[in-house]
Each structure stands twice: as C-alpha cells, then as structure tokens.
Amino acid sequence: MTNPYAPPQAAVLDIEDPRTSTTLADRATRLGALILDSIIFMAMVYAPLLLTIGMAAIRRDGREMDGGAAIVGFVLAGIGLIAWCWLTIVYVNRNGQSIAKKLVGIKVVRSDGSAAALGRIFWLRNIVNGLLGLIPLYALVDALFIFADSRQCLHDKIADTIVVKA
C-alpha cells in the first residue's frame, strides 16, 4: 500500500555520479603516466644508489673504493624502494592510481565503472602480466592493444579494467 501523503519520487537517470565516471583516459595521458611512473621509480630507487657509488668513485683519488659507499647506496636504494612501494600501495588501494596516475588525473577501475580492488590490480595487471612479459614480443602486443576502440591493453583485458579520467 502506497502512502498518499509521501512526496513524489522519481529516478534521475541523466546525472552521472562523478565517483563512477567512465570517460576513458586518452592514450597520450596513459603513456605519459607510464613514463612518469618510470622516472619516479628511478629517482627513488636507482638514483640514490648510483649517486652514492658515483660520488665514492670520484673521491677515491686512485685508491681502492671502500665498501661503505656501496652499503650506503644500497641502504638508500632500499629506503627509496620501501617508500615507493608504500606510496603506490596507498594510492592504488585508495583510488586505483599509481603515483603518476594521481599526478596526471587518471585511475584504474573495473570495466563496469566500479572500483578495482588492490588485489585485482596487483595480481592480474602486474604479476600475471609480468609473467606473460617473459614471452617474446608480448610487451609490444600488449601495448598495441591500446589502439583498439576500447583503449584497453591486454593487461586491462586480463584484469577486466579500464583507465578513466579521475
């Protein structure tokens, strides 16, 4: 029995929920995020190692390079790796974004627009795709799939994800 005194109710179907926006990210932005993620990783992990060992090699003045510089370099690289992993896990878990995806304003969601779980992104987009990357030319084929109308690479299809504007 309906209440005759209840206010009228109607489903509003023309307003898009901004949390489930499915405007696909353009290919150039995805490529830029990939390159930026690589630069961030190199800066946080490889740069401290190379700078420390490089500085020790410059200062040695013909003497043997001591192992202390290498140890300091490895410790700094380890700290950078831990910081990178922590930031990446926090951002991916919070909103499906890597560090660079957050900076450029894109995110990974399920193909239906719902949030992609950390496990799905980690296992299917990264681990399974990384193992498939051992197959010759797989990385090239994976990347070329972005030119399809769906803008999904193979790793997106495997994980049932899409990359959208955040």
The pair phi, psi for residue 110, each rounded to 5°, is: -65, 160
pLDDT value of position 52? 84
Cross-strand bridge partners of residue 110 = 161
Q: How far is CA 138 from CA 96, 143, 151, in A?
A: 24, 9, 17
Mean pLDDT of the chain: 89
Give residue limits of the domains in the chain. 22-165
Residues 6-36: pLDDT tens digits? 888 877 666 555 555 589 999 999 999 999 9
For residues 69 and 72, give the distance between their C-alpha atoms in angstroms, rounded to a whole number. Answer: 5
Burial (CB count within 10 angstroms: exposed 0-12, middle 13-18, buried 19+), residue 119: exposed
* Cβ-based neighbour number of residue 2 at 10 Å: 5
pLDDT value of position 54? 79
Place of tokens 């299917």: 124
Could you tell me the two tokens for 58?
Answer: 């410059």
Residues 56-69: pLDDT tens digits? 777 656 666 667 77
- For the question of whether the overall pTM of this predicted structure is more than 0.75, the answer is yes
State whether the Cα torsion 71-72-78-81 is positive or negative.
negative
Q: How far is CA 29 from CA 6, 56, 58, in A?
A: 48, 39, 39
Given a cut of 70, the residues of the chain with pLDDT beneath it are 12-21, 59-66
pLDDT value of position 162? 96
Q: How far is CA 69 from CA 58, 62, 100, in A?
A: 11, 16, 31
